[in-house]
């Protein structure tokens, strides 16, 4: 560098040099204004593209500029899905696409599973086990777009196939309980909706035995989600179904959840106990014949005390006494 240039540089005030330097660094930073237009422009300059496209036709989307490429994924609600144009061609490539390493192709395949379940459910009955295995694999994906699409696929499978998938349910159920327990809100909420669909479309007599082991899971969040599913499913049995399943068994399950770690478990247990008390009091045929002959021995209090430990019975009666007092008044 010449002496003249050095002298010119030295004559520049320090503050101006700092401003010039900071302006150069600022070229690599996102704009302070967080408007979608400015963020999108910055993404283009940095050769980034959103993972998920902006909302189209009311679909729910989430965008994040973290990957190079122009791939777009839409979260389309079931009622907005269109039928397939070529079912046979879709079926020929479905399993391969579900197992693809291209995550965008996997999302498209998952949406095709949803379309087939809604519009052509008989066509994949023969490969339903393989389909559910790949859906379960996608539920484990670290990529949120794949995971959420798989969750939505699970809900449509429950709606379409009901009890036909009961023997294939276990791995799917575990992943949905895990996803509904995690911290990513939009994934968690989607998983909770899928679990509601599960309790709606799969018969409780088939579902309750599948849920019961998770009530004792080491993970308190999984216990809580399972307890909520259990509590939603039992009333769907109806009075006769509760009698057949065993009201004493159901009371014991609910009582064990009253002292659980998380409030969701305890609230689900309280809801279930109030339902069981209502059924027990209203439908006398749920009581043994010997008790029916001696009503004073067949009270709710005596029934609980005969089926539970003293501490558990006391906790159950404390929860249900408020409801009983309301019925009396």
| Band of residue 56 on the pLDDT scale cut at 50, 70, 90 | very low
Mean confidence (pLDDT) of the chain: 81
- For residues 329 and 65, which has the higher predicted lDDT (pLDDT)? 329
| pTM for the model | 0.75
Helix (H, G, I), strand (E, B) or coil at 65: strand
Question: Residue 81's closest CA among 54, 53, 59, 105?
Answer: 59
Confidence at residue 184, expressed as pLDDT on a 0 to 100 scale = 86
pLDDT, tens digit (0-9, with 9 covering 90-100), for 263-322? 999 999 999 999 999 999 888 766 555 455 555 557 899 999 999 999 999 999 999 987
Confidence at residue 110, expressed as pLDDT on a 0 to 100 scale = 97
Helix (H, G, I), strand (E, B) or coil at 84: coil
| CA distances from residue 188 to 182, 194, 221, 225 in whole angstroms, order as listed | 6, 10, 12, 11
Confidence at residue 323, expressed as pLDDT on a 0 to 100 scale = 57
Q: What percent of the chain is predicted at pLDDT more than 70?
A: 72
Task: Give strand pairing partners of 50.
Answer: 65
Q: How is the chain split into domains, by residue range?
A: 24-74, 79-202, 210-329
Cα(309)–Cα(295) distance, integer angstroms: 22
Cα(133)–Cα(272) distance, integer angstroms: 32
pLDDT at residue 156 above 50?
A: yes
- Decide: 30 and 39 in contact? Cβ < 8 Å: yes
Task: State residue 222 phi and psi, 5-degree precision.
Answer: -65, -40
Give me the sign of the Cα torsion angle 147, 222, 214, 244.
Answer: negative
Task: Give strand pairing partners of 75.
Answer: 60
Whether domain 79-202 has CATH 1.25.10.10: the reply is: yes
| CA distances from residue 39 to 43, 82, 160 in whole angstroms, order as listed | 6, 32, 41
């Amino acid at each position: 560098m010449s002496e003249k240039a050095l002298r010119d540089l030295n004559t520049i005030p320090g503050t101006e040099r700092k401003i010039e330097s900071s302006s150069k660094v600022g070229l690599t930073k996102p704009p302070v204004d967080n408007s979608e237009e400015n963020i999108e422009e910055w993404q283009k300059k940095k050769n980034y593209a959103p993972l998920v496209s902006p909302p189209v036709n009311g679909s729910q989307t989430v965008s994040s500029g973290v990957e190079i490429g122009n791939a777009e994924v839409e979260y389309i609600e079931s009622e907005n899905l269109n039928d397939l144009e070529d079912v046979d061609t879709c079926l020929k490539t479905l399993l391969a696409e579900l197992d693809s390493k291209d995550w965008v192709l996997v999302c498209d395949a998952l949406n095709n599973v949803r379309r087939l379940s809604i519009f052509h459910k008989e066509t994949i009955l023969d490969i339903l086990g393989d389909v559910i295995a790949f859906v379960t694999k996608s539920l484990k994906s670290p990529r949120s777009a794949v995971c959420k699409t798989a969750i939505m696929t699970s809900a449509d499978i429950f709606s379409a196939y009901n009890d036909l998938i009961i023997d294939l349910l276990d791995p799917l159920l575990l992943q949905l309980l895990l996803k509904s327990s995690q911290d990513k809100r939009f994934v968690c909420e989607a998983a909770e909706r899928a679990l509601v669909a599960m309790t709606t479309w799969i018969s409780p007599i088939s579902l309750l035995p599948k849920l019961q082991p998770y009530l004792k899971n080491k993970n308190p969040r999984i216990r809580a989600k399972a307890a909520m599913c259990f509590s939603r499913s039992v009333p769907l049995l109806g009075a006769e179904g509760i009698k057949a399943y065993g009201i004493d068994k159901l009371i014991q399950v609910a009582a064990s959840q009253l002292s659980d770690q998380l409030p969701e478990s305890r609230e689900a247990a309280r809801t279930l106990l109030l339902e069981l008390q209502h059924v027990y009091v209203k439908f006398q045929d749920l009581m043994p014949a010997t008790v029916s002959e001696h009503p004073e021995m067949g009270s709710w209090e005596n029934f609980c005390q005969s089926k539970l430990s003293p501490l558990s019975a006391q906790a159950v009666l404390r929860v249900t006494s408020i409801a009983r007092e309301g019925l009396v008044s």
